[in-house]
Structure formats: structure tokens, C-alpha cells
Structure 1
Amino acid sequence: MAEAVERHLHRVAGGPGPHAAEPRRVLTPAPGMCLPALDGLVAVTLTRPRRDEGPWARALIGDLGPVVAAGVRAGVPLAGRTTVENADQAVDVLCWKPAPHGRAALTERLRAACAAAEVGRDALARVARERRQEHAYAGFTPMAQALRAALADGAAPAATAAALRLSVWQVAGGVPVAAG
């Protein structure tokens, strides 16, 4: 009886008999990413361990940090930011959309800020205060407690400067290219 069901299932699925070899699938590579609407965009990426970027990284790319300040000094405000995570890493992305004539100056200032990667004591103190406030809030509201319990999976240790990677990118021809 089981053999009859198996034969029937293979016929319904369009497959060969139960003992025939399955045909090999040929994988074709996907075309490269090309987003012409993003031409002229300048971005900074910070690759770090997932879940806990540490106070240094948080201060570095925060709204009052040296990377965002470099864009302001170049006369280009931050256009947006996001974070993309997988199981082990996270990538923070900060984006600017400068005028074509200001792209080189912005890129140079961002590269200098990323190379120096200097964070002042005031910025670190502010980040520490914000973390304490977030922790206090998370311990106060029932919804925050439930969320913290649901997401608890043994957070990674705080990232150090050596564990982080900063990069500056420009989008040209719809393709992100490392600046430098």
C-alpha cells in the first residue's frame, strides 16, 4: 500500500518513479545590484557584532557623533540611517545626498572622520546616560519587560574599536563603490 501511495505522489508531482535519479538543477548567478535612482548617494557603513554595538560605536555614529558632524561641516545634512542585521553581525548605514559639486568634499571629510574614529568623553558620557535611561525604561514598563525577555539570547559582549569596520561608499552608475 505504501509503495502505491509513493508512486502516485511522484506521478502527481510530475517526478519520475520512486527509484529514478532526480534531475540536477543548474544554478544561475543573480545579476549584480544596480539602483540608478541612488546615484550620487554617499554612505558610511559600520560593521559590528550584532545586538550590542558598545558605547564607542554608538557615540561614533550617533546624531552628535563625529561622523554625522563631518557631514554637517561639509554642508550636507544626514539624509537617513538604518541598521541591517543577520545572526552574528549588524551593519549601520548612514546616508547623505550631496549636490554633485559637493560630493568630493563630503567624501573626504567622512573618510577623515572614519580614519580618526575619535569619540570625545562628552559623547561617551551622553551615550552611557542614554543607555542607563533605556535600561531603566526597559525595567519599568510591562511591554518593555516582555520584549526584553522575548529577545534575550545572550547578548554579545560590547564591541571594541578593533571589532568594528568603518567604510565610506559612493553610488555611481547605480552601484555602490568604496570611496578611497
Structure 2
Amino acid sequence: MSRTIGSSAVDTRARILDAARTLFAERGYAGTSMRDLADALGMTKAALYYHFPGKADILLALIEPLLDSLDAIGDHAGQGREASIRAYVKLLAERAPGMIQLMADPSAKSDLGGRLDSEGRFHRLERALAGRDGDVLPVRCAIGAAHIGILSTIAARARAGEPPELAGDEIERVIRASLAAWEAAR
């Protein structure tokens, strides 16, 4: 069965992405096949291939919104350092729990290849945040503080079997640390 009664192609696509997120988290990207996804969704592989030509296309659909959000932060860098860092930290805190394992999977990295230009997009974000003076070191220090604050907390919680989400006060503390790192590197 490819589509439930009353559903649209958009709904089906969203269901596929939700199932992929779950299976990729449980089994890893390399450990999840298109057959596994089709079975989990109660659809045929042909129906799954109708919506996504391959597993790499599903991965791309999961990662692209994150990179689009990074692009948007860069596009609004003129709103100031604090607004940019606040948006970056919140994005990282929101998306990292579901993306860490996926982005660390060598098969996922291989399948994405150059399709996203993630490195180029990240460098554009750094340059946008650096502004007119072009000094990216303070930006990298701020981003590094955000990554360590968020990702190490999520990893520690995963090891302890705790939910990965950070509380609002924890996010605020990471924002302050990131801004302090930016200021210290200027």
C-alpha cells in the first residue's frame, strides 16, 4: 500500500522522512535499506522509489533543511552578532540530537558527496558572520564554543541514557559562552 486513504504525496513524503529519521537513528544510515523503510511504512519499494529515487535522496531531504537554516542565519548576519549566535545555537540545539549520528556515518558522508556543498555553505556562513573586517577566527571560536557546549552535552546524556534535549537555561548559557568566545578572540 503506497498511500493511506486521504493522504497526499506531501504527507507520504513526510511519513517517509519521519520513518527514515527513526530507522537511521536506530540502525544507522548504512544499516537501513530501502526495503527496511518500505516495510516500516507498509508500502512497496516501488512506491518508496516513486517519492525518492534512492536512499541518498532521502538523506539529502533530511539534511538540506538544516543547511538552508544555516544559509538563512548567514543571510541575516547584519542583524548583529548576538542575534546570529542566538539563532545558530538554537538551531544546533534543536537539530543536533537527530543529526549527530547521521552526520558521523561514513556511508552517509559518502552518499552525500558534493551534493550539498556543506563545507562551502558553512564557509559562507563564517564569512557573513565575520562581516566587513573578514576576521573569521572570532566566528570560529564562537561556533566552536556552541558545538562543544551543545554536542558534548548531548553525547554525555546519550551515554547516561538521558533525553538529549537541552533546557532553555542551558541554551542561554551556551549562547553566553559562544558570545564570550567571540569577544575573547577579537
* Range into which the TM-score falls when normalised by the shorter chain: under 0.3
Larger fraction in helix: 2
Larger fraction in strand: 1
Give the TM-score of the pair, scaled to structure 1: 0.22
